[in-house]
Amino acid sequence: MNSEAVPAIVGLLVFLSSLVSLRLGISVAIVEIVLGALVGNAAGLEVQEWMSYLAGFGGIVLTFLAGTEIDTKLMRLNLKASLMIGVSSFLVPFLGVFCFCHLVMHWKLQAALIAGTALSTTSLAVVYSVLVETGLAKTEIGKAIMACTFVTDMGTALALSILFVKPTLYTLIFISVSLNVIYVADRFSHWVFHHPRLKNKVIEPEIKYIFLLLLALIYFAQLGEGHAVLPAFILGLLLSRHFTEQSATKVVRDRLRTVAYAIITPIFFIVGGLRVSVYSIGMAFGTFVVLFAIKILTKFLGVYFLAKKYLPQGSVYTTLLMSTGLTFGTISSLFGLHAGLIDKTQYSVLVGVVIGSAVIPTYIAQKWFMPVESEDIVETDNETRDGAEAGSRSL
């Protein structure tokens, strides 16, 4: 395919995804992943270098935004629940997938560990996107789900680092820079967000400042062979006090979300779909189906019973959303392929399972298990719009 036509095709996919999402009433992230997979396999569209970098940046932006949505007071109050659900959500799938791959499928030890790591994840990017679209990001259950997801992803990141990554001087530099960026931003960001010469300007200096911080984290993460997801989330978490409902700077987060959802994050999801090889999955379809079933089953065992205890108003919804995977699942699989720990078929199967888990559980959760809170939000929003329209007509 002509490389010059790729940006136009991607732009078309981004626009069509929005239309399909609105028509079917499902998350646009699901549509973007599916369309990416269809076009990638049917038309031969491949991931280009600029798309790969922009997709990585999109995942980091989504993670940062997810951090800004967390209510730190609520998180401290529900710390036990978040830790228990998050740790169990990581540990049960990790052990289940590892044991199956190593003992039943007879994969090599390190290949089985890669599989366990890749399929233990919960995609914070997918979870955040769905919660924002449904209005649940503003509710207690939505914030609790994001906190649990963060704990799960932290477990996955630690497993990948401890089991496979060999620390170097650059790794220490990455950790040091991340800590310093987070500390300085936490202490001095109010100068940017509240300075009278910077607020509410058309050139958006606040958003450019946030992008600068995230790009710095990405650069040093690549230098240290790490990933900027966790530092970006912590950065968003600490800066969340600047973006509360009562804060005048809340508009900065809303503008950042608009910029992100217009082009940056759609490419993140489309690239995820493009990485699915239907042919490779077809060659090992039985393994794909079994691994997908094991991931969903072990996520259910790891999350549902604890969620029923701590989040009874949305236990099934929580379980399904925490069964999703994307960012760290793809990263773990790609690391295993590049390091020679898994072959191309194993990589395609793992990525296929990861992408499938980002689509199917999310669709089921939205279609049949939405918590009552989200319905109340939608009704309230509709009533507000109806009242506003009636008021405008009366004028």
The domains of the chain, with CATH numbers, are: 3-382 (1.20.1530.20)
Average predicted confidence (pLDDT) for the chain? 83
**How many CA atoms does the CB half-sphere of 5 hold within 13 Å?**
7
Of the pLDDT bands very low, low, confident and very high (cuts 50, 70, 90), residue 212 is very high
DSSP string of 70-110, one letter each residue: --HHHHHHTHHHHHHHHHHHHHHHHHHHHHIIIIIS---HH
Which residue in this structure is represented by tokens 């202490």? 187
**Local confidence band at 381 (pLDDT 50, 70, 90 cut-offs):** very low
Residue 246 is predicted with a pLDDT of: 53
Residue/partner pairs of 365-372 with CB below 8 Å, 24 or more apart: 365/130, 365/316, 365/317, 365/320, 365/321, 366/25, 366/26, 366/27, 366/130, 366/134, 367/26, 369/314, 369/316, 369/317, 369/320, 370/134, 370/317, 371/136, 371/139, 371/141, 371/313, 371/314, 371/317, 372/313
Listed range (265-269, 353-357, 380-384) with the worst mean pLDDT: 380-384
**In the numeric block, which tokens belong to residue 9?**
């095709």
Using pLDDT thresholds of 50, 70 and 90, give the confidence band for residue 109. very high
CA distance 173 to 27: 38
Instruction: Give the pLDDT confidence score for residue 367 in this predicted structure.
Output: 84
- Which pLDDT value is given to residue 191? 86
C-alpha to C-alpha distance for 75 and 276, rounded to whole angstroms: 36
Report whether 274 contacts 47 (CB < 8 A). Answer: yes
84: pLDDT strictly greater than 70: yes
- If phi over 0 gives left and psi between -120 and 50 gives alpha, with beta otherwise, what is residue 190? alpha
Instruction: Scan for tokens 């973007």, then name that residue.
Output: 32
Instruction: Give the pLDDT confidence score for residue 395 in this predicted structure.
Output: 32
For 282-315, how does the pLDDT look when each residue is reduced to its tens digit (9 = 90+)?
A: 888 999 999 999 999 999 999 999 999 988 888 9
75 φ/ψ angles, rounded to the nearest 5 degrees: -65, -40
Report pLDDT for 383. 44
**Helices in 164-249 by DSSP H: which ranges?**
169-193, 205-223, 229-239
Eight-state DSSP code of residue 121: -
Give the tens place of pLDDT for each residue, 358-367. 889 988 988 8
